[in-house]
Structure 1
């Protein structure tokens, strides 16, 4: 089958000041419970349950750097979707990708992947419950009937498998419990925000339960496409989920879940940082305003089904089977140059499918704990996009598919060496086989992916190839329980991300573009301490880490041939190292007042980067010119929460500040690089009986901050003056930004 048949075509808080605040408050983001803390004469913190090691455990006993946010915490902090979680997990970047509304860019401790093109795989694994989500499209999930979200930092390959060398993010849905329940919630807010969610469950028999959740999330744009009047940065998303639980016996459970998300928000327009060389358009006064020469149509539909069967063999052994299917379709238009002329336009289609099967065996006799299993993935990612150079009368079409079959076997166990000292040993063997079809055609005139097939004017690439990548990834750790409330640990973990093929390969410029790129490998050493103090009133979790990072995969695109063509590479950057630390803490100052906070520091450096310069025609080492993308050196947050009785009910008043240091958008410096950002949020929630009312303010200082962008700059002299046209005849330096100040009011009722 051909590819075309498959596709069917304000304030500023410095790191030092933040660190002082954190020290004075003796806090950092850990977690609270799913329900408001009950008042008592002696304040103490709630026990937090996580599943970082594929089984339910107390957060304080898990020798992994992990943040867990409950549904209530996320509501009170104004967390609307998965991207907002980045503010509450140190050294974590979870952002909406450039030019999209729901595609996720994820980095943890400097490791990730910002290129969402099919064939490229993330470095941070995203999971819905225990199901791996292979593609980033649609992964910026809204918070809908969620029990908690966990962020696991550092390589998690032993238990979570492929492409988790930076870490893993787990979206844990609310479990069915068998009691009738119905929850309605409506929200109105700035920019005509109109959200509505309904969730509930009910028993159909003593052993069979059913649940449903649905949400519609709508908002007008923060800005406009000036030349068409359409909304820019609007929101038009629906999401739904149905679930069933069957308990035919005390030892057997069967759970089924199906979810779907539809994103029909407008394609997002960027903000030009420089005047247009074609139209003379100056940068607009608002970063949310843009122009476009394309339809603003955008459609993303993603979803899947999962069947989980759990059988308790006896008191010590549990067997689990997880069978899942997921798929996604994207039809979008991105105007790179953001003008009314088709200088550099990119319409695109994405189509992906995946099937996964995991068999897992757990053992726990109170002293020894172990989990092992086998895993299989069969996935296909296809796509086609056009690089429309309208003023030059040329369209370059890239298309292709990657079929992946992945097999893995894993095991990890913890066992006591002495009364207080235990050891963890684990490993995973992974074998990936990839079959790729890649083409790159040149057409005269303007062309879109849905246009019928015609003979191209020129062929720059057209090849099919296969490659197999395999790796054994071990983990070794020691945990020592110094006291009942203080555990220290040290670990070594090896991470592995599979290699692949460059789906933008241009062999006419780089003859070796059809060769597969290699896997990337990271060796991480981590030490940490998890403690509770003062009769469980203060919790402090600290981790320090060092990583050796080899063959880091970096996608690079450069204008060549006097800015008339684009050369793409996937570099296996030779060597780099990453070191850093993280602090998370929670303080119950009184029975009513609680502080939480986090502080992250990361220092990544390239040691060697072998880059093929298409203009010079040779390989050069550019490590002294490059820095890690999407990796601020300092991150942190500080939050205070106060509980009181008011107006005949219970009130929770929350306020906090979030900080991210300056960030380099790409590996090379550019005008797009973002300065530091400090955001202030606050909320007041009131509960009485079945009613809940919450007023939330986000980014109260109305801080303007850039998240991403496109950089196809025109050539410049030493003084920064433009000396000629760039790709498509334009100077394309376009940014995308975080949300402005918003205020919302939510009202909910539980039946």
Structure 2
């Protein structure tokens, strides 16, 4: 299957149906920016149709544009797509949201699902960490907005990101690319494809990225938050006839940077006693001083080793068989993920926590079968999907010599004795077996020449078996090593040292099963107003699978885990959307509009609870009452001539917790005593609420306004005897203020910012040489702000890249 182009490649929205892989023809050298105007015909539903006729809100970026704009991972993709949000402090602690929905903000938990599906060559990637790899030989990336699940794969409530790599070719072809830049940036990419015989073709690709970190650690004299990535990919196509083909694919990816540091951002006042807040605690360590209180000095003094080794890979077989009036497709895949971190989770240069590391291994198996029928008035997709995942996490948490003074109440003899909390060790064994099976179908019924009705349905069964086992040991007051237990009957329960250790962390073991059936569906109406104007309306009743808490749960007064909060109920989603797709100016301009309204009942969110009689505040996942996200989106692209192209996309998103009465409190309303009256925000030594009612407040991570825009201009030129084009391009993006905490805080709102990127170069059909500068005006801004453990008032930051610049040479044959 292939795209057919008239004029140029557009920025118009592209349908991503679960049919055979669509191969794109290369754009001419003078028109490499695929965000211009024109027609794209797709045959994804076994007939050629203009993408503008397909009633789905989706954005597409082609491989040529990705390379030109330096978009080599999902994080950078957000600069081109306003409705896509990406937050990451390391690969495992990564959240991808569409229209502000997808994953709970603030906690990583193996027991819940993502609301945004990530697919690479039709293979579903369950853990976002296993999809943070650099793009290798990508043909295009499609971002579908809104619930998905009646057409393919795993059910997702917020949308899906479909990444398609370049297919093997029966014509010998290849490309190579080298980029160099500041901060020691070095990136190389190469791909070669060609026939191995009349019926077999192969493609081999490699990509590698290396860059010095943008933050300097004065404690270790290292630049941290570096990049050190390599990706390998191979595909073998066997095509014995025009009606049958099989594509075997395999890949290996390794990220092994010195990473990941979140640094000092600011200090805010909490309701803790003043002698337990950041300034007083730091004063207990004479001579200690943070290297800088200005985060944009990009300095830190983290004393624990940093590592973020992220290895992933897998293999798949894609079978496509033209059978009767339709196509039978089978996708079989195995994937693995191996995560080996080392963190400093006290966010200081003091030996409070010397280890907080949770190495994780995953194996994932998926099988999907679909049949796509094509008739004159009716076409449909029916399919089945099966998924099994096994996750094993073997973690450790260890405290150091500064823990007693930092974590225990000042003034007590125990807080002055480093031995009390030194070498308190938690060994964590976390296991999840996750199985999901589903059947789905989507019908397209052309009622008349202009109206098409498209109902869809999905039935889903999910089963999860989770186990959490944390064994904590510490030194008792008699010098012996003891289990730190919540059980009042344990021998060391009343030992004063063990009691102090239990207030920091105690042993806990539980197993929790979960299983449920879910039925969901959607209906879509599409109406052709004219040849160039199409309207659509969609209603979807969707769900996000329930789950289990696998980071521990609060303890009851008798020491047993509170298993009633171990299960997370499914999210129930009602989604409404209307849209208009239009082309004008002799189809040199495209304007698409979408309006949406999404309400979620039992929204899966982060909470903090202190069970009555329990000694420890524990964060976990639970269900909020209801949230609402609604907004408008616009996409405009124009190409008045072969010399000029431009685009602009914008989104307005209104968002709030409609009802969430037991949310975690922000730091300014936490850390104080129990009882009444409740103190004013940020007043030390006062009483704090057990939880907070945030109904009516912002959802985290969502800006009310977001936009991206840009363009390119080229003129024919001859350089060194080679005919081609000289070009200049510009891309900008903007986000308004957003909250960076699960419950909005005085200290964690991130101000709005804009980023501007430029490039200039010369290209022919075979060569492209250009220079680039990203974040050209060196805008200092935060990607995220976070409240650090213990509620001392310390706020940590994840910084965005400063200004970077460099050059790229690309060769094609």
Same fold (TM over 0.5): yes
Q: How far did residue 416 of structure 1 move?
A: 0.9
> What is the SS of the residue equivalent to 1:158?
coil
Corresponding residue number in structure 1 for 2:797: 735
> Offset of 1:57 from its aligned partner?
5.4
Q: How does 1:663-742 map to 2 (within 5 A)?
A: 663-670=738-745, 671-712=747-788, 726=790, 731-742=793-804
Higher mean displacement: 576-585 or 457-466: 457-466
Alpha carbons of 1:560 and 1:672: their partners in 2 closer, same or farther (altered >3 Å)? Answer: farther
Q: 1:143 to 1:102 in 2, by over 3 A?
A: farther
Q: Report if the CA contact (8 A) 2:316-2:334 is conserved.
A: yes
Which residue in the other structure is 1:380 paired with?
390
Q: 1:700 to 1:513 in 2, by over 3 A?
A: farther
Name the counterpart of 1:62.
54
Match for residue 449 of structure 2 among 414, 419, 426 = 419
1:545-598 alpha-carbon deviations (Å, 9 max, x no partner): 111211110123579999984402212011122110100010113331111010
1:137 match: secondary structure = helix
The equivalent of 1:631 in structure 2 is 702
**Residue aligning to 2:490:** none
DSSP 3-state at the match of 2:52: helix
Per-residue CA distance 1:86-108 (angstroms, 9 max, x = gap): 1222321024x12x157642011
Please name the residue that 1:654 is paired with: 729
Is 1:505 equivalent to 2:552 in the alignment? Answer: yes
The number of residues matched between the two structures is 698
Q: Deviations over 1:376-412 (max 9, x none)?
A: 0011122243344431323444431111110100000
Separation of aligned partners in 1, 2:245 and 2:530 = 37
Secondary structure of the residue aligned to 2:183 is helix
Q: Equivalent residue for 1:75?
A: 67
Q: Secondary structure at the residue paired with 2:466?
A: strand
- Contact 1:180/1:201 (CA < 8 Å) preserved in 2? yes
CA contact (8 A) 2:703 2:736 kept: yes
- Residue 434 (structure 1) shift: 0.7
* Alpha-carbon distance in 1 for matches of 2:793, 2:44: 46
Aligned CA distance change for structure 1 residues 620 and 105 (closer, same or farther; 3 Å) = closer
Partner of 1:723: none
Give the conservation status (yes or no) of the 8 Å contact 1:626–1:667.
no
Q: 2:712 aligns with which of 641, 647, 653?
A: 641
Q: In structure 1, how many angstroms separate the alpha carbons of the residues matched to 2:179 and 2:632?
A: 38
Shift of 1:182: 2.1
TM-fit CA distance, 1:165: 0.4
Q: Distance in 2 between matches of 1:627 and 1:395?
A: 38
2:606 alignment counterpart: 555
What is the alpha-carbon distance in structure 1 between the residues aligned to residue 605 and residue 173 of structure 2?
A: 48
RMSD over equivalenced CA pairs, Å: 2.9
**CA 1:44 to 1:360, structure 2 compared with 1: closer, same or farther past 3 Å?**
same
1:436 counterpart residue number: 466
Say if 1:249 and 1:613 are closer, same or farther in 2 by CA, change over 3 A. closer
Query: Does the 8 A contact of 1:575 with 1:608 survive in 2?
Result: yes
**Greater mean deviation of Cα atoms: 69-78 or 298-307:** 69-78
Match of 1:748 in 2: 810
Matches within 5 A, 1:502-541: 502-508=549-555, 511-512=562-563, 515-541=566-592
Greater RCO structure (CA 8 Å; 6+ sep): 1
Partner of 1:141: 133
Cα displacement string for residues 43-73 of structure 1 (whole angstroms, at most 9, x for unaligned residues): 9833346799899854212211100000111
Question: CA, structure 1 residues 563+236, in 2 after alignment: closer, same or farther (shift >3 Å)?
Answer: farther
Please name the residue that 1:576 is paired with. 627
> Do 1:485 and 1:533's aligned partners in 2 also have CA atoms closer than 8 Å?
yes
Q: Distance in 1 between matches of 2:41 and 2:539?
A: 24
Structure 2 residue aligned with 1:369: 379
Aligned to 2:693: 622
Deviations 1:138-168 (A, max 9, x none): 3223232100000000111222443510100
Unaligned runs of 5+ in 1: 1-26, 447-453, 714-725
Please state if 1:246 is matched with 2:255.
Answer: no
Question: Is 348-357 or 158-167 further displaced after alignment?
Answer: 158-167
Q: Counterpart of 1:74 in 2: which secondary structure?
A: helix
For 1:703 and 1:575, the matched residues in 2 are separated by 36
How many Å apart are 1:218 and its aligned residue? Answer: 0.2
Q: In structure 1, what is the Cα distance between the partners aligned to 2:47 and 2:541?
A: 21
Equivalent of 1:329, from 334, 338, 341?
338
Deviations 1:524-563 (A, max 9, x none): 0000001101110110111001112111101235799999
CA distance in 1, matches of 2:781, 2:615: 32
Question: TM-score w.r.t. structure 1 length?
Answer: 0.87
Report the secondary structure of 1:589's partner residue: strand
| SS of residue paired to 2:130 | coil
